[in-house]
């Protein structure tokens, strides 16, 4: 299933980090991608986002301000099947 793209706005980018705000309107997705670097996600909303991986689909419950981290090599597609917008900030460590 292909969904419209979520909106990514790069806020800061230099040789050490990239900070991106992701806005997921209802029914949008990132598209499949692989993270080349370790990263931190800071949810700005509380709610659920879906995560498609090669192993299947999971739904993650996220809380505004409660951050999490993943290592380089993470491959997935993030999507929003909820009725409201979801926003998070992603900080990639180059």
> What is the model's pTM?
0.94
Query: What is residue 38's DSSP assignment?
Result: E
Cβ atoms 24, 86 nearer than 8 A: yes
**DSSP three-state, residue 10:** strand
**8 Å CB contact between 41 and 67:** yes
Q: Where are the domains of the chain?
A: 7-93
| pLDDT number for residue 75 | 96
Supply the pLDDT for residue 40: 98
Regions in the chain scoring below 50 on pLDDT: none
Give CA–CA dist 54/4, Å, rounded. Answer: 21
In this structure, which topology does domain 7-93 adopt according to CATH?
Jelly Rolls (2.60.120)
> Does residue 44 sit in helix, strand or coil?
coil
């Amino acid at each position: 299933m292909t969904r419209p793209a979520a909106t990514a706005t790069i806020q800061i980018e230099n040789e050490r980090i990239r900070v991106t705000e992701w806005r997921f309107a209802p029914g949008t997705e990132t598209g499949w991608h692989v993270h080349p670097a370790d990263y931190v996600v800071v949810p700005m909303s509380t709610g659920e986002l879906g995560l498609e991986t090669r192993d299947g689909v999971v739904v993650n419950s996220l809380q505004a301000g409660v951050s999490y981290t993943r290592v380089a090599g993470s491959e997935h597609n993030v999507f929003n099947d909820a009725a409201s917008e979801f926003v998070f900030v992603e900080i990639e460590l180059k």
